[in-house]
A and B are shown apart, each in its own frame.
Chain A
Amino acid sequence: MAIREVKATRSELMEVKKRIKLSESGYELLKKKRDGLILEFRGILERAIEIRERMGKESAEAEEKLRDALCYEGSLAIESSALAIEDEPEIVIRSKNIMGVVVPIIEATRVEKNAHERGYGLIGTSSRIDEVAKAYERLLETIILAAEIETTMRRLLEEIDKTKRRVNALEYKVIPELKEIARFIQFRLEEMERENIFMLKRIKAKE
């Protein structure tokens, strides 16, 4: 609100003062929320780093096993074994609330299977294919966990950013401006009172 547009009345002053109070309490609350979110984010960040490292390790392991199996069995045997898997894992996404931020909980069922459930022929294949399948199933489970944690992290980051912007806006713009308006109205009211007194004195002197 520009100062020029402000009506210098007592009721406006009261309204502005109310808004300052509200902004100040909002500012305190948002600051607490921001600190809480940062704390929560730090905890998740540690887990995310751990999961990322695990994912990298498992991915390298799975690739190595795949290379071994490709070398021993040939690409067609590996591809057709992979295609034999008809039972796809089921992914359920639920949500939970962290300080007003809705984050997902991703759960997957039947990712890790045994050699019988996978659905490829056992007599004509070797355990190298089991090893590859197992390694990739384990990797997939970690990826699902990473998806949950990293989505949570991204949402928290967005919320922290949003809260920070609000805190900064209140601290450096809204509250100072409201205080300025209040000061202006206060000054105008005092000015008007002085003018009134002066006017009354002039009238009295004429009489």
Chain B
Amino acid sequence: MRLGIRIRGRSKIKDYAYITARVRAKKKKLLPKETYQKLLKMGLSEIIRFLSESEYKEEINELSDKYSGVDLIERALNLNLSRTYRNLIEISSGDANLMIREYLRRWDIWNIKCVIRGKRIGASPEEIKSLFVVAGEFDEKFLGTLAELNSVEDVIEALSNTRYHRILRKYGEERWAELEDELDKMYYEELIDILEEEVSEDRKLLLKVIRMEIDVKNLRTLLRLKRDGVETKDIEHHLIKGGEELHERELRRLLTLDYEDLLKALSEYSYWKVIEEAIERRSLVSAETRLERYGAEYAHKLSYYYPLSILPVIGYIISKKHEIHNLHLIARAKELGIPSESVEEQLVI
């Protein structure tokens, strides 16, 4: 038994040695904070030129024949994100591979949401495909087939052999919004179950990252619904179980409070110092951005504790997602004529 644990431990270290070394190299290629300041001052064509000389070169060159402007940037960014994540799956093995795949399953849910939302509003297959981030269980071909289908019902039928079907089959009986929330809840519940299957220090820390992410989402939902004066019974099913600080008992207590009392009660939690100033300005939007920034920093910090574990990889996945999100934000803001100052406030850096 003792020997078994040792062997498993050694093989796990081997799993992570290679992937973490690769991730360290990839991390160095992420855009530094100062670059965003420069990008904010650029025009759309300058941003495209900048991206075509950066890590996004391949995707920009590949798509520049077909697309231009924001469309080109959005598609290139999503394609780069898909390739980066898929590359992580390809270069990892064993436990690392399992953890990465499970973590990235959130993109399957994103892709399902995109297809069904797209079908509901009559978006073209091309439009839907441009939003895909092919980083989960579903490959590009399968997602492409889903985008080409005619109706939501056809999409759900095509997903009948997947784990998501038990929720999607309720389409038509329940509101789509509720099913979207159920998909998200299912993702977190299953991820927690997998992480709890085996006890190890790195899994415990990853669990902490996930639980904190759940806290952030629950906190956001609570603040939004309580501010609108929604009844307790209508809030409960929008919350995800398994938070770090806001676990079930705490959530039940917070649910009974009105908005002002909720704010007072939140001062007991570590998140309060992050959102306090934004809440005082009555800006939920700003509070949300700060929470996201805090979550990213937290994951980044933890990745240094266990350099030979899944944590640096997850830290990189989160940082990459934020980089793409920030670039999306800057490009769209340029197109919509939103001033740089208000974009800067919303960047997660």
Residues of A within 8 A of B (CB): 67-68, 70-72, 74, 76-77, 79-80, 83-84, 86, 114-117, 119-124, 126-128, 130-131
Contacts and interface: CB of A to CB of B under 8 A. Distances in A.
Given A121-B184, A124-B181, A131-B285, A115 B228 contact: yes
B121 A72 contact: no
Interface string B204-246: 0000000000000100110111001110001100101000000
A123 B180 contact: yes
A117 B175 CA distance: 11
B185 interface: yes
Contacts of A86: 175
Interface string B22-51: 000000000000000000000000000000
A122 B127 contact: no
Contacts of B229: 114
Nearest to B284: A127
Interface of B: 74, 113-114, 117-118, 120-121, 123, 127-128, 131, 175-181, 184-185, 217, 220-221, 223-225, 228-230, 234-235, 238, 240, 284-285, 288, 328-329, 332-333, 336-338, 342-343, 346
A121 B180 contact: yes
B336 A70 contact: yes
B225 A127 contact: no
A70 B185 CA distance: 25
B238 A123 contact: yes
Contacts of B336: 67, 70-71
Contacts of A124: 113, 180-181, 184
Given A68-B342, A120-B177, A76 B114 contact: yes
Contacts of B230: 114-117
B46 to A, nearest CB: 18
Given A116-B225, A122-B181, A76 B131 contact: yes
A162 B30 CA distance: 74
Contact of A119 (B74, B117, B175, B329): B175
Across the A-B interface, the 10 shortest Cβ-Cβ residue pairs: A121-B180, A80-B117, A114-B228, A123-B184, A127-B284, A71-B332, A116-B230, A121-B177, A116-B234, A120-B177
Contact of B121 (A68, A83, A117, A123): A83
A77 B177 CA distance: 12
B334 to A, nearest CB: 9
13 contacts: A67-B336, A67-B338, A71-B336, A76-B127, A79-B117, A79-B123, A114-B229, A116-B228, A116-B230, A116-B238, A121-B184, A122-B181, A122-B238
B224 A122 contact: yes
A121 to B, nearest CB: 3
B131 A127 contact: no
A48 B285 CA distance: 34
Contacts of A79: 117, 121, 123
A116 B179 CA distance: 14
Given A68-B338, A70-B336, A121-B180, A127 B346 contact: no
